[in-house]
């Protein structure tokens, strides 16, 4: 048999003693719950039946669910949260000037933020979130500067809240300026062999940080990599020559970048270069002929003369880095001066530089009889005046001259644009340990 006492059930076991013990435990639990809810409960005598249980005289009988709700709400009145405005980072250690300043409002809406350089009075711009709870600076700060931030917000009840902060930016031990290679231009296009580079005016010891701040993109996309010529110069090239018609963009995001030893980038630089048609000259010292290829197709062949056995031309790919209608060539610039055997000083026309070691493609009327049959120059590619004019008219910066069978050593990778001399797997290793 099952009986209920104020919502509590017990089962008769058929044994009087067991039922009484069970019933006593159930009533005890009910009593504890009732007392916890602040109710007054009458305990029936041992002879009372469940149906005879009544509230104590003068008390009010309350359903248990209402009592629970009443107890839960006691002492839980809502206290309004005061509006707060915070400025980060907080004043203290000098910060990187790239660090954004953030003004955050809680239980309030930002109404104004004024951030100024204390020394110059220049205002730093920023943007406010749509819900007006967050302002973020959008302008890069300067090195070694102090800024004041005055922020005002309004609470839900219209109460104004103000906050002021001061931040200091770090002062580098030194700054380095990044010169781009080639120099940015809006009128010049470049050949398929053009090398992209950055030259610093101070040594870079954290080369990984420098490479992370540098990027090169090309259209169409072409895989490329950086290679350090020395501690101040890093070059970039693709695995093979650039595709004709490519657009190349270099970004040097170096401001705020620690390049090692407390040396920071002075500024950011960017440049875009355009690649023209492919012009490649193949100069063969065994035949003393130079083939001219335009976009891979042979268009003409010229008789020429390379360096003599005593002054052999460097072998391998060369890239035109400069062109001048006329220059003075003086052997004293590489150690053979006036009065010594082999000295010369000549005004030479139609000159296109292919190395920094004094190698040019140029007009050489004095060697026309040897062109096509023997190598008699001091390392340059000698052409007849007519062929030199044709070459000068068609070849320009970034175009390629590949020299083979010259008897000379490979063009050093560091000699202007000797970059293409290295196999790709060696190039992409980066040479990060060079001094």
Q: Confirm if 191 and 376 have CB atoms less than 8 A apart.
A: no
Catalytic position from the list 235, 276, 314, 362: 362
Q: Confirm if 265 and 176 have CB atoms less than 8 A apart.
A: yes
Peptide bond into 89 cis (omega under 30): yes
Structure tokens at 73: 């709400």
193 burial type by CB count under 10 A (0-12 exposed, 13-18 middle, 19+ buried) = buried
Sheet holding 322-330, edge to edge: 322-330, 345-353, 360-363, 381-383
Cα torsion 330, 331, 333, 337: sign: negative
CA distances from 330 to 13, 131, 321, 344, 416 (A): 125, 72, 19, 6, 20
Question: DSSP characters for 215-227?
Answer: EEEEES---EEEE
Residue 303 backbone phi and psi in degrees, to 5: -75, 140
Q: Confirm if 411 and 314 have CB atoms less than 8 A apart.
A: yes
What is the rounded CA–CA span in Å between residue 365 and residue 378? 15
Three-state secondary structure along 186-201? CCCCECCCCCEEEEEC
326 burial type by CB count under 10 A (0-12 exposed, 13-18 middle, 19+ buried) = exposed
Beta strands in 52-141 (DSSP E): 84-88, 102-106, 108-117, 123-124, 126-128, 134-137
Residue 337 appears among annotated catalytic residues: no
What is the rounded CA–CA span in Å between residue 148 and residue 374? 75
Peptide bond into 220 cis (omega under 30): yes
Residue 362 appears among annotated catalytic residues: yes
CB 387: neighbour CB atoms within 10 A?
Answer: 23
What is the rounded CA–CA span in Å between residue 217 and residue 220? 9
Which residues are tagged catalytic? 362, 380
């Amino acid at each position: 048999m099952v009986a209920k006492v104020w919502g509590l059930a017990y089962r008769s076991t058929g044994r009087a003693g067991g039922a009484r013990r069970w019933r006593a435990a159930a009533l005890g639990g009910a009593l504890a719950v009732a007392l916890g809810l602040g109710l007054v409960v009458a305990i029936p005598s041992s002879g009372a039946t469940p149906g005879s249980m009544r509230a104590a005289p003068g008390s009010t009988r309350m359903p248990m669910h209402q009592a629970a709700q009443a107890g839960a709400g006691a002492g839980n009145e809502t206290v309004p949260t005061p509006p707060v405005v915070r400025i980060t980072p907080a004043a203290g250690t000098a910060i990187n000037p790239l660090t954004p300043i953030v003004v955050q409002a809680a239980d309030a809406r930002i109404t104004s933020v004024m951030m100024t350089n204390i020394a110059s009075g220049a205002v730093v711009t920023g943007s406010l979130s749509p819900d007006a709870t967050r302002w973020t600076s959008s302008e890069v700060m300067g090195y070694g500067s102090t800024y004041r931030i005055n922020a005002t917000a309004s609470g839900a009840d219209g109460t104004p809240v103000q906050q002021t902060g001061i931040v200091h930016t770090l002062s580098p031990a030194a700054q380095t300026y990044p010169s781009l290679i080639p120099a940015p231009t809006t009128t010049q296009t470049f050949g398929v062999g053009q090398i992209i580079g950055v030259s610093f005016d101070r040594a870079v010891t954290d080369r990984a940080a420098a490479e992370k701040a540098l990027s090169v993109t090309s259209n169409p996309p072409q895989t490329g990599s950086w290679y350090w010529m020395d501690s101040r110069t890093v070059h970039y090239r693709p695995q093979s020559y650039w595709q004709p018609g490519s657009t190349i963009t270099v970004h040097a995001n170096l401001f705020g970048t620690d390049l090692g030893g407390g040396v920071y980038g002075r500024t950011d630089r960017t440049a875009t270069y355009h690649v023209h048609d492919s012009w490649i000259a193949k100069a063969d010292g065994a035949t003393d002929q130079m083939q001219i290829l335009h976009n891979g197709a042979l268009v003409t062949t010229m008789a020429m003369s390379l360096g003599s056995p005593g002054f052999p031309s460097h072998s391998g790919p060369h890239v035109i880095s400069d062109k001048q209608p006329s220059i003075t060539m003086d052997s004293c610039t590489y150690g053979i001066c006036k009065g010594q055997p082999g000295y010369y000083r000549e005004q030479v026309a139609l000159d296109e530089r292919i190395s920094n070691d004094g190698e040019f493609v140029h007009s050489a009327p004095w060697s026309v009889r040897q062109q096509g049959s023997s190598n008699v120059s001091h390392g340059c590619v000698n052409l007849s005046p007519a062929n030199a004019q044709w070459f000068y008219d068609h070849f320009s910066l970034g175009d390629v001259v590949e020299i083979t069978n010259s008897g000379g050593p490979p063009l050093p990778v560091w000699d202007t644009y000797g970059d293409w001399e290295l196999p790709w797997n060696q190039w992409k290793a980066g040479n990060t340990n060079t001094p």
